Amino acid sequence: MSIAVYPGSFDPITLGHLNIIRRSASVFDELIVCVMVNSEKSPLFTPEERVELIKRTTTKLPNVKVEKSGELLVDFMKSLGARVIIKGMRAVSDYEREFQIALVNRKLAPSIETMLMPSSEKYTYLSSSVVKEMARYGADLQAFVPVEIIDDVLERIASNMY
């Protein structure tokens, strides 16, 4: 059984993330979407809330599981028997950072491979940060996040505005 892990902060999950999830799920027997902690970011949602939001948007994908982890990604993967990390690439600027992380992961766990998956062209501009900023200004989010979670994003933004 081939198991891949798609790690990220997913704060919130976007249509770009969902596109990578769908495409990856069609290649692997099982895809684990793993909500990770990114110390460089100030999250809008807790890890548990992000897991729930992702689960709501992936219910029609039976081979997709959603989990969270606060441990080193390669250790999390070893505990699952997963051998492939999926990373979405929006632009060349993503490549440098992801390439560096992939090399570190290979040094830590030589049996784990990283697959860099180019974003669909219609989502190359999209990030969770962009979604949060648009939500703060009341933009229509239907073209950016799954419809199942639009209200959650808007409510959280509204409760965090000062």
Q: Is 128 among the residues known to form the active site?
A: yes
Q: Which of 9, 24, 69, 128 is catalytic?
A: 128
Task: Give catalytic status of residue 136 as yes or no.
Answer: no
The active-site residue out of 2, 26, 41, 136 is 41
Please tell me which residue in 22, 55, 56, 90 is annotated as part of the active site: 90
Active-site residue flag, 41: yes
DSSP states of 55-104: HHHSTT-TTEEEEEE-S-HHHHHHHHT--EEEEEE-SHHHHHHHHHHHHH
Place of tokens 């989502």: 123
Q: Which of the following is catalytic: 9, 17, 69, 87?
A: 17
* DSSP symbol at 148: G
Catalytic residues: 17, 41, 90, 128
